[in-house]
A = this chain, B = another copy of it.
């Protein structure tokens, strides 16, 4: 019986052309984030099932790849539920494992801890074009810093990285989860309805304010409250700090003054420090799906791409689930796979960025003559050059064309 050639459903093999781009981007990630003092760490791909199923992962918890127990732990009699069969699974993000990592290792880590993570995560999503069940995430997080320095650094570092990777003209949208709650309170909506309300508000950029109103009414929200809530958004069309102040004034006691000063502080700070190349906007319609966010939230959009390529926020509660004691935490994740897709679609080829040499050897070549040629190749390699030594193919013209595609612009032929 022949074995199965294709990768498992929803996962993909990465070929040399794409791999070269991935490695180039990963190199830039390490370089740029490194300059900002982020240090890389790694957690295992396998995580305790209790941690993965602790309501920190939202919808992703439905998409876990579970690992079968082994040996005596696996009991096949009387299996009632799949949870009897498994005690671990593949991580679906890097934030939960980072929180575990920090709780386990905090005494050996700098404080605050600026973490960089590059790693594969796994989600058993319905397979679809361009979305895979194994994909790379790239996160930076600052743990143990509750000040606006954290948000400022995350934004500055990530925009610097995106510039370095070749993107420009992006918009950083920023808000605070607590503003959303204040807006909901102000409109008379009870706390337990907020999360559901936010799901509707999140659609603002897709279906517009009228569309959102229609859906909210259909869902049973009181018209008076809905009007009151939606009217607040019209105060913030410019996304400026003065818009934010106007909104805050309107919200009055519903909003803690500290929220305004924190968000203002971040916006002013980023605005003064940053280089050029991006716009910074306050956007109260920003929701960010994950339930674990407790404060600032942000998203970065690239003009040429049309949708978000980075996002994150403050999640001060998660480390506490492991440690029993809260640790202020704030993170930003770039859409690594999207960035790779865009670069591939642009026709960028990382393999042709350096001049490389190929030695084409006549098939009969052997003995002393072969050794001499290989020695020549070795000497060039010692000098840092890339030299491929290979035999001539029957169709030499085709072989040379392919070699040029792979970046071997310098081809030397050797005969007996």
Contacts and interface: CB of A to CB of B under 8 A. Distances in A.
A290 to B, nearest CB: 17
A378 B372 CA distance: 51
Given A20-B39, A35-B384, A391-B147, A3 B375 contact: no
Interface stretch (A107-115, A237-245, A336-344): A107-115
Interface string A150-182: 001100100010000000000000000000000
A45 B134 contact: yes
Nearest to A43: B13
Contacts of A23: 30, 40
Interface in A188-216: none
A160 B380 CA distance: 13
A220 interface: no
B37 A13 contact: no
A90 B90 CA distance: 10
A44 interface: yes
A85 B81 CA distance: 12
A36 interface: yes
B393 A12 contact: no
Contact of A269 (B109, B370, B384): B370
A295 interface: no
A11 to B, nearest CB: 4
A3 to B, nearest CB: 5
A269 B46 contact: no
A406 interface: yes
Nearest to A318: B3
Interface residues of A, number: 110
A397 interface: no
Contacts of A386: 34-37
A402 interface: yes
B35 A322 contact: no
The oligomer's copy count stands at 2
A5 B100 CA distance: 5
A325 B332 CA distance: 48
Interface stretch (A48-56, A250-258, A281-289, A299-307): A48-56
Nearest to A359: B37
Contact of A68 (B13, B86, B114): B86
A82 B74 contact: yes
Given A15-B105, A40-B19, A275-B378, A8 B47 contact: yes
B44 A124 contact: no
Interface string A63-82: 00111101000101001111
A234 interface: no
A231 interface: no
Contacts of A268: 367, 371
Interface of A: 2-8, 11-16, 19-20, 23, 30, 34-37, 39-48, 50-51, 54, 65-68, 70, 74, 76, 79-82, 85-86, 88, 90, 100-101, 103-105, 108-112, 114, 120, 122, 124, 133-134, 145, 147, 149, 152-153, 156, 160, 265, 268-269, 272-275, 321-324, 351, 356, 358, 361, 366-368, 370-372, 374-375, 378, 381-382, 384-391, 393, 402-403, 406
